[in-house]
Each structure stands twice: as structure tokens, then as C-alpha cells.
């Protein structure tokens, strides 16, 4: 049995998920890379990391909207190396849903990816995490606290994920720690105008955009160094959430 920590990262083929996979792998952890449609990107990331350390990354395909697949995903992650230490609920959907045009399908999609899937995957992973005194890290959003205009469903979903982080910390302790990271201005939405980007940056106290590396380092801290932290959500946003 490997003594490396085993980490399951959902939505790990791109963006923050991929950056996090690289950093945790660099720190000696074995990675279960979950993806839904991005098989090619997932395979490329697997090749990149396996070149650095053989037999350290496996791929796991699942549609997180299919709740009946989540138990098998958790089981698969735990069986590869005989343990599961960390679950990172990173997969998310994000797009505008103005109140006047928001649909039931959009509700189901945004609530499904941002709340329902993380909850039921955490439920499925809990027995394995408990064996290792492991932890869960949820990727929340600063807009869980302060809604983003024209994104009510997304903001509501992330607010629910924030409360889920606290509720699961209460339910799963003392064996499992549950914390979250709330990114601010890290990756821009598609089609965002330069003027809007400048406005967002101006509202941070650090006057610059963050990077996926900043989120990955916060996740690493919660996994490796935050032994006495649970039910907490770290805002990694350059101070933007403090600015009215």
C-alpha cells in the first residue's frame, strides 16, 4: 500500500483543478483526476505528472449530475492505492441566469454541480476518508457571501456549498475535517470586457488579480497544515470581499 496521500479532485482537467493537481502531486500526493468530457486534457495532464513520478495518477470519468455514479467514483478512488485521504469538490458550472429568464434546467444544472454533487460525493467518500482521518476541501466563491449581479442561481448555489462546508464539518468530525476556499478575481469569465476587469481589480486591496496557484496553495495548506481547522472558508481574493 502506498504511503502517499491519495487525493480525488473533481473537474481536474483544466483551470484551478489542474493547477491544484500539479501542486499536490509535486508535494508527493497521488492524484485521482476526475473529468466529465475533457478526456484529452485529462490524459495530457496524467502523462505530464506520470513523467515526473510513475504510477501516481489515475483518471476517473463520471457525470456528477448522475448521482448514482458518485458512490462508484468514490470507491474507485479509494481502491487504486488502497486509501483515500482527501476529496476536493472543485467541479462547477458558472454562467449568468438573469431572474427574468432563469429556467428550471439552469436551476438543476447549477444546483446540481455546485451543491448536490459535492454533497453526495462527500457522503460516498466519507467512510474512506474516515479511515485515514482525512479531509474535504470545497471550492466555494466570494459571491456566496455577496451575490454577483445577473448570477443569482450561481451565487445561491455557492452559498449553499458554503453552508454545506460548515454542516459537514459538524456532522463528520472529529474524524474528517471539512473546509473551503473562496476564490475572488482569479480567472476571468469569457467575454468579460477589459473595463470590467479593471473595475474588479480596483476593488481589491492588493490591486492585482490572483492566480490559480494562489488557490492551489490555500488548498495545500488546508490539507497539510490546518490540523486544527474545520468548518472554515478561506477567502483568497486580495481583500475584495472586504470592500463595499
Residue positions annotated with a catalytic role? 154
The C-alpha atoms of residue 206 and residue 202 are separated, in whole angstroms, by: 9
CA dist 189 to 23, 93, 96, 108, 194, Å?
24, 11, 10, 21, 11
Helices H, strands E: what count in the chain?
Answer: 8, 7
Query: DSSP string of 139-204?
Result: E--GGGTSPPTT-HHHHHHHHHHHHHHHHHHHHHTTT-EEEEEEE-SSSPPTT--HHHHHHHHHTS
Amino acid at each position: 500500500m502506498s504511503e502517499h496521500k491519495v487525493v480525488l479532485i473533481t473537474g481536474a482537467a483544466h483551470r484551478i483543478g489542474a493547477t491544484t493537481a500539479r501542486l499536490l502531486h509535486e508535494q508527493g500526493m497521488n492524484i485521482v483526476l476526475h473529468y466529465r468530457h475533457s478526456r484529452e486534457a485529462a490524459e495530457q495532464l496524467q502523462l505530464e505528472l506520470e513523467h515526473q513520478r510513475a504510477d501516481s495518477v489515475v483518471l476517473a470519468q463520471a457525470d456528477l449530475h448522475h448521482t448514482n455514479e458518485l458512490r462508484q467514483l468514490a470507491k474507485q478512488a479509494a481502491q487504486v492505492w488502497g486509501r483515500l485521504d482527501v476529496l476536493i469538490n472543485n467541479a462547477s458550472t458558472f454562467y449568468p441566469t438573469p431572474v427574468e429568464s432563469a429556467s428550471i434546467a439552469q436551476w438543476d444544472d447549477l444546483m446540481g454541480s455546485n451543491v448536490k454533487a459535492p454533497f453526495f460525493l462527500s457522503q460516498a467518500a466519507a467512510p474512506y476518508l474516515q479511515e485515514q482521518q482525512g479531509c474535504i476541501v470545497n471550492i466555494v466563491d466570494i459571491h456566496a457571501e455577496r451575490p454577483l449581479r445577473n448570477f443569482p442561481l450561481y451565487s445561491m448555489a455557492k452559498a449553499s456549498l458554503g453552508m454545506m462546508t460548515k454542516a459537514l464539518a459538524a456532522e463528520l468530525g472529529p474524524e474528517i475535517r471539512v473546509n473551503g476556499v473562496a476564490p475572488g478575481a482569479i480567472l476571468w469569465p469569457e467575454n468579460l470586457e477589459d473595463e470590467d476587469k479593471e473595475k474588479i481589480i480596483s476593488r481589491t486591496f492588493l490591486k492585482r488579480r490572483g492566480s490559480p496557484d494562489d488557490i492551489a496553495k490555500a488548498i495545500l495548506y488546508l490539507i497539510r497544515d490546518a490540523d486544527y481547522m474545520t468548518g472554515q472558508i478561506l477567502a483568497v481574493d486580495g481583500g475584495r470581499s472586504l470592500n463595499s
